Structure 1
Amino acid sequence: MGEQRQDTDLEIYRRAAETATEIDVRFRETTNPEERARLREERDRAFSAFVAARVTLLRSGIITTAADLAEMARIQQQIDQAADTQLLIQAIGRFAGFLLRLAVL
């Protein structure tokens, strides 16, 4: 009997949903109006990318790989560990780009 392949799509979807929530929390906790405005733009772009990728990730069939899952984990860690707004914005940009790439698969 063959080994069953891990559903990396579902795991990436779960991690992306957690990451989107973390981005929202970090946005809400930002009190500086200028930083909040800069963060809002990236947050909105990331959420649009998440919506687009969500449809692709929840289809039948697995389109992602273990390498994609590892990349999602790295991005999630970068967002969790971002010490300032600029680092957070950069990590959110990587998150959005990663999801947009998945959305067109």
Structure 2
Amino acid sequence: MANQDNSINVFGQSAGATAPASKLYKVYLHTQDDPAVQELVVSASNVQAAKQKALGHVKKSNPHKGARSHSDAVKVTKVLSARETGTNGCVAIHKIPLDVFTSAALAVNS
């Protein structure tokens, strides 16, 4: 009988890799003058690596938005929080009431 992997929030690398197993982290960033806080889910070997990976992502999704360069944006971005999250490499993002989907389906079909 096969053994079940009961590890929490750990998923292995591809065969032959020597890097430590990755974990999922929620990292919250705020860039100066931005009215919002950005939440990222990051795969990393530890919390420090997760923070660095998240900071490296600043401006990557919207490189042409705003006047700052990537390096300038990183300089004025702070990590507000970083913590381990998820179970077995999976993160639940939202729970949406079933009524929302039922109402949408009824509206489409009427």
TM range, smaller chain: under 0.3
> Which one has the bigger helix percentage?
1
TM-score normalised per structure 2: 0.23
> Which one has the bigger strand percentage?
2
Greater relative contact order structure (CA < 8 Å, 6+ sep): 1
TM-score normalised per structure 1: 0.24
Structure possessing the higher radius of gyration over alpha carbons:
2
